[in-house]
Amino acid sequence: MELSNLDLIEILLGKGEFLALSRNSAYLFSQPFRFDIGQHTVVKVVAAGVISFEPKQASNKDIILSCGIHGNETAPIEICDALVQDILLQKILVTQRVLVIFGNLRSMDVAQRFVEENMNRLFSLGHDNKCNNYERSRARLLEQAVENFYLSAEPDRERLHYDLHTAIRTSKNDKFAVYPFLHGKPWSKAQLQILLACGVNTILLSGNPTTTFSYFSSIKFAAHAFTIELGKVKPFGENDMGQFQQVVSTLRLLVSSHNLKCKEFAEEDFFIFKVNQVINKGQSDFTLNFPDDLANFSDFPKGHLLAFESGCEYRAQYDGEAIVFPNAQVEIGQRALLTVIPTKI
């Protein structure tokens, strides 16, 4: 029996299981609809895996929390799923406009990073060519959802987008954030303090435009946007959620209070890096010259051979140059390795 919107609303308000319905019965959300939570919040179901909450009283922030852009990065998905459930069940009262995005629903179902293509390389026109697949159509839908969310409110409001991930391998700095390239605009110390409250004290400053989700929101809508890495990939149900207590509590305070109080900025609280080399895979024999289990932010002496392929070697250019996001299995032409060096802001 096909469920009506009224049936769906009753289920959502009774159980709060938006993600479960999105994964198991995505067709139910083929058309947007809206409803109220009590007298205080308007809920808009945009599409399967995309839902917004808007307080009826004035707020000053437009906050996007996205997760599952890679479907096997489960801790952020579980964090956002619990948040959405608690908002729907009125355990949390939002005071800011909030859009929650569960990105790659199909790759969640197969416990893979993606089905056909890395979705986090498909934003900012990264999806625009003759090829079409689930990830590309989904990236277009998510871009439109972000645009509609930000542009349906006054332009002078503060815009935030935290795109939550987990890394393929462990990291010496367990939680870290990538700050998209700002094209000369200043870094936000207030935003770094919010990250610190989440337990994220390692910041990687991007030096070039990219096709990531966070860069899309930053460049097109002037949002304070970050790709936030929260530990290592694990299957659903195997995450130690105690490791994310600061993240959970800070995000919940962010959406439910008008002012999140953070400590004053102090540079010594952070490990800040900038990208030195972006190494793309050029040949099918591209090989990383270090063990598969070597942690992100492991560093090397100047001249050390980091990777090689036919006709080319890639070496550390500075003492202490560190590796981030190494992955020799990417498609030819895609980034296989970043190297970073310490810096200041």
Question: Active-site positions?
Answer: 229
Judge contact between 249 and 82, C-beta under 8 A. no
- Partners of residue 279 on adjacent β-strands: 337
Cα separation, 103 vs 163, whole angstroms? 10
What's at 102, amino acid-wise?
F
Q: Which two tokens stand for residue 82?
A: 């619990």
The residues, ordered by sequence, that sit 6+ positions from 268 with a Cβ below 8 Å of its Cβ are none
Judge contact between 23 and 109, C-beta under 8 A. yes
- Phi, psi (rounded to 5 degrees) for 187: -70, 150
Cα separation, 55 vs 95, whole angstroms? 6
**For residue 93, how many other CB atoms are within 10 A of its CB?**
16
DSSP 135-196: HHHHHHHHHHHHHHHHHTS-TTSEEEEEEEEEESS-BSSSEEEEE---TTPPP-HHHHHHHH
- Partners of residue 82 on adjacent β-strands: none
Q: Which residues of 118-140 are buried (b: 16+ CB within 10 A; e: fewer)?
A: bbbbbbbebbeeeeeebbbebbe
Length in residues, the chain: 345
Judge contact between 136 and 211, C-beta under 8 A. no
